[in-house]
Structure 1
Amino acid sequence: MRCVEVHPNQEMTVDEFKAWLRRYDSNSDGQISQDELKEALHGLRSWFPWWKARQVMKEADSNHDGLINSSKEMEKLIHFAQQRLHLKIHDW
């Protein structure tokens, strides 16, 4: 798998998206916190990354523990990235 530099409107696979996101897992616990997500969004040069990170957590964090830590929550994060961040993420 190649090292992915992510930009809006760029196509990538789900695995490439997850690999990119893991770069922001600052404590290497395999989970994404709101602060880590904010840094990832900042890396995209997204406007208002703190607000978007909060929105993702509201939509994706189904058990309200402040972390994206299950495959279902990751699916919700990917859906948010596709719909609201205009990232083209595919299964292939």
Structure 2
Amino acid sequence: MAIRAIPSSREMTVEDFKEWLKQFDTDRDGRISRSELQEAIRRRGGWFSGLRAGRAVRRADMDGSGFVDDSEVENLVAFAQKTLGMRITAW
């Protein structure tokens, strides 16, 4: 399966964002690790992807597991909008 980047001008819903993010779940465990998020940011064209991914996981990971699971993905929306310049709508 090819991993594709989301153009910065594209507006997407939260569900679209979740589907895009799932492309980077390389171990298919249903959670996003720091390294998986780092790859998503890198593919998006973001600089300092390791630092940004670490900060995003710390902010989104409410249970302290070190991963962002499905219930915490919505916490990444604000990060993606602010830091990655993605436009994400509620519906």
Query: Gapped runs of 5+ residues in structure 2?
Result: none
Give me the whole-angstrom Cα distance separating, in 2, the residues matched to 1:17 and 1:74.
9
How much has 1:49 moved relative to structure 2?
0.4
1:50-92 deviation digits (Å, cap 9, x = unpaired):
0000110121111221100142x21111111112211100122
Partner Cα separation in structure 2 for residue 5 and residue 35 of structure 1: 16
Task: Give TM-score, length-normalised by structure 2.
Answer: 0.88
Say if 2:37 and 2:53, in contact at 8 Å, map to a contact too. yes
- The AA in structure 1 aligned to 2:81 is Q
| Displaced runs of 4 or more, over 3 A | none
Structure 1 counterpart of 2:20: 20
Q: CA RMSD in A?
A: 1.7
| Larger CA deviation: 78-87 vs 37-46 | 78-87
Aligned residues: 89
SS class of match (1:67)? coil
Q: Which residue of 1 aligns with 2:54?
A: 54
Percent identity, aligned pairs only, is: 38
**Corresponding residue number in structure 1 for 2:34:** 34
Q: What's 2:83 paired with?
A: 84
SS at 1:86's partner residue?
coil
TM-score normalised to the size of structure 1?
A: 0.87
Segments of structure 1 that go 5 or more residues without pairing to the other structure are none
Q: Give the aligned residue type for 1:74.
A: V
2:28, 2:19 → 1: CA distance? Answer: 12
